[in-house]
Structure 1
């Protein structure tokens, strides 16, 4: 049963990557000049994931499936593998790492950073808001803030960010990001920290948050930056999540 779950979650991420590859998105040199065209088809994958998670809160069938997965996982688990505490950041960090190694993405540093911060603000607000409203108990019984999975939302927000920035270079960048995000979600289940429905909802929220950030960016940058010329230094706020709390850190790039 657990292996069926792995296949299910991986299928969601694979479909997400392929659905986005087929979307016709207007190419732009700077996101602050022309907005991306809204395409409702881009809402299908995150909508299905979020819907699955929300329905699972009250659905007896999905709740039973959650417990079946938990039973199979706890049978085989010997030691927790905490790689998910770090892998959640890997897709987003890869965007900046690739740029540092000379692989240019779709946007410049300023616009990319605005998109990144916007995405994580939307994602963190949504996740923390739902956790405080739903009060779902974690599989290990440690707390009542299981729904949705913040680690998974963080990872998938970063995976979508990596996809959007580098899909025109190679689709494999995005596929790699989604593979890492999927692994993060699976480890949350394996470590008995989340139900499948938590992970599915987290994945959908993460993807949707980044999509919204790209759609909103032209309007945000027009408000934040009056001048069209790019300054020699860039300041940005970098969100972080330590497993219990979200926060912001200030970074200045010269």
Structure 2
């Protein structure tokens, strides 16, 4: 199953490639996170792979071969990906609740997460609605890109940025979970490998952009708001699982 391992390796590579020395002060503001062009390399490659995969016969063959190889080992479908996609960013709040302080306080990390989710969700939904890639199981033509994978990798990068100064293993664990989410999207016959690659790139890039633009949002919208309260709750509409966030400030 060598082809399947590419997804996990790409997640680990993203963590290592983005590693940069930072101050370990848990109260350090995200305003100190400078824009670096090198940070665009990994997500751009992943997104580019997915886009090229829409037309390239070679990459389409890789999609088909990966699907065939996975199907040979399927016993029954597992819906863990419906939940694991959220676990990466929820773990940031769980760690803080357990007393393990990250880079930002509740207000700043929540604003960053909301920004990343908005960027990621908008990008994924616009592309899905304007595209016509059929899912592997033939149920719909909005396969590209993988929204579950984008959410998981958005959260993995969020976890990495918040806790890389505490321990890089938090980020590595987050990327492993995100890679697992992408694998199960293919295992459950919901996405092609190229869908998963593009979703991973969009998720990572969305979080990076959220950190880069946070100083602007902080100064324009929350400059005088010292406290921010909110709650994240699971929702289910009869077909899909999700999360709802309510914030007061």
Aligned to 1:138: 135
Q: What's 2:212 paired with?
A: 215
2:62 corresponds to: 65
State TM-score, norm by structure 1: 0.90
| Aligned-pair CA distance for 1:236 | 4.1
Task: Work out the CA distance in 1 between the residues paired with 2:38 and 2:233.
Answer: 28
1:18 maps to what in 2?
16
Which residue does 1:155 correspond to in 2? 152
For 2:241 and 2:128, the matched residues in 1 are separated by 12
Q: Deviations over 1:142-186 (max 9, x none)?
A: 111100000000000000000000000000000000000000000
Quote the residue 1:249 is aligned against: 245
Q: Which residue of 1 aligns with 2:184?
A: 187
Give the aligned partner of residue 88 of structure 1.
85
Question: Shift in Å at residue 135 of structure 1?
Answer: 1.6
| SS of alignment partner, residue 76 of structure 1 | coil
Distance 1:169 1:27, change over 3 A: closer
Over the aligned positions, Cα root-mean-square deviation in angstroms equals: 2.3
Equivalence for 1:44: 41
C-alpha distance in structure 2 between counterparts of 1:36 and 1:14, whole Å: 21
In structure 2, C-alpha distance between the alignment counterparts of 1:194 and 1:152, rounded to whole Å: 10
Q: Normalization by structure 2: what TM-score?
A: 0.91
CA gap of 1:237–1:206, structure 2 versus 1, over 3 A, is farther
> CA 1:171/1:202 → structure 2, altered by over 3 Å: closer, same or farther?
same
Q: 1:213 to 1:27 in 2, by over 3 A?
A: farther
The structure 1 segments of at least 4 consecutive aligned residues displaced by more than 6 Å after TM superposition are 239-243
Q: 1:235 aligns with which of 224, 229, 233?
A: 229
Alpha-carbon distance, 1:74 to partner: 2.1
Distance in 1 between residues matched to 2:94 and 2:243, nearest whole Å:
21
Aligned equivalents of 1:89 and 1:220: distance in 2?
Answer: 24
Q: Is the 8 A contact 2:152 2:181 kept in 1?
A: yes
Contact 1:80-1:191 at 8 Å conserved across structures = yes
Partner of 1:119: 116
Q: Please say which of residues 240-249 and 142-151 is displaced more in the overlay.
A: 240-249
What is the number of residues matched between the two proteins? 246
Structure 2: which 5+ runs fail to align?
none
Shift of 1:31: 3.2
Give the deviation of 1:245 after TM superposition: 8.2
Residue 31 of structure 1 contacts residue 218 of structure 1 at CA under 8 Å; is this kept in 2? no
